């Protein structure tokens, strides 16, 4: 047998994978798991913008919300200290009340991030 015939036989004997069989579980994952997380983080973002003072909020970015822990990146130690003081002073409980009590902890991480506001202006002035 020549190589072309062997190639044809090999291709015919391969298991046919139905792409829609893989698409269904991925769609369910997106809808149930990731969709829920996006909605939660979106709601937390709205609450964050309402209750955190603007001069501090513009130096923060909500990173994730997982297992009741809201992770927030703060771009400087000064703003991180101010935010931690506000959270300990009652801001954490206010966010928890407005969100519905599902927040166990707010974790502040140091870090740099670059973002552009809706208006199209840079979020930070360096």
pTM summary value: 0.65
- What's the confidence (pLDDT) of residue 73? 93
* Whether CATH 3.30.590.20 fits 19-110: no
Helix (H) or strand (E) holding 77: helix 77-86
Res 21 pLDDT > 60: yes
pLDDT tens readout for residues 72-126: 999 889 999 999 999 999 999 999 999 886 889 999 999 876 654 545 544 444 3
In angstroms, the CA 42 to CA 39 distance is 5
**Nearest 5°: phi and psi at 80?**
-65, -45
In angstroms, the CA 12 to CA 43 distance is 52
- What's the confidence (pLDDT) of residue 31? 77
In angstroms, the CA 118 to CA 126 distance is 19
Enumerate the domain spans of the chain.
Answer: 19-110
First-residue to last-residue Cα distance in the chain: 71
- What does the pLDDT average to over 30-52? 85
**102 CB contacts (<8 Å, ≥6 apart)?**
40, 68, 96
Quote the percentage of the chain above a pLDDT of 70. Answer: 80
- What does the pLDDT average to over 15-32? 72
């Amino acid at each position: 047998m020549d190589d072309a015939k062997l190639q044809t036989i090999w291709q015919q004997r391969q298991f046919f994978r139905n792409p829609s069989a893989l698409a269904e579980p991925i769609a369910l994952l997106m809808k149930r798991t990731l969709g829920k997380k996006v909605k939660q983080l979106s709601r937390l973002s709205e609450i964050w913008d309402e209750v955190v003072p603007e001069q501090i909020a513009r130096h923060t970015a909500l990173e994730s919300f997982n297992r009741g822990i809201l992770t927030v990146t703060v771009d400087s130690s000064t703003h991180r200290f101010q935010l931690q003081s506000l959270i300990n002073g009652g801001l954490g409980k206010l966010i928890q009340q407005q969100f519905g009590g599902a927040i166990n902890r707010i974790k502040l991480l140091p870090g740099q991030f670059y973002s552009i506001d809706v208006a199209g202006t840079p979020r930070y002035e360096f």
